[in-house]
Amino acid sequence: MAPSPADAALRALAAALAPYLPLATGAPGRPYSQHDGERPPGAGKAKYLRTWRRARDAGDAGAWAEGRARLMTAEAWAAWSRTAKAAPPPTPTPSLLDELGAVRVSS
């Protein structure tokens, strides 16, 4: 059975409003874009667009385009951004012999 015109209209409306559902449901924040003041903290325009392109090319649903705007959710930014610094390597804990100034002799 073919969908009624009302069903088709509701589906089209749902598809058009899908990017805005997180805002309506109280999910944190609005999507980031490449425009000034709408990018993630510390991201320049070129960096944002490179990250957006990587996410979009990988098929991430959190990165999409609307007209000339390149939009990305905070979750997609966290997953695809290379800004997250790795934890620094742990500092080696000195052994008791090192603290006492013992000299190691190789045999």
Q: How far apart are CA 71 and CA 21, in angstroms?
A: 14
Gyration radius from the chain CA atoms: 25
pTM across the whole model: 0.53
3 state SS of 28: coil
- At residue 91, the pLDDT reads 76
Domain extents in the chain:
26-83
User: Average pLDDT per run of 10 along the chain, which is 107 residues long?
Assistant: 78 77 60 92 91 94 94 92 66 78 73
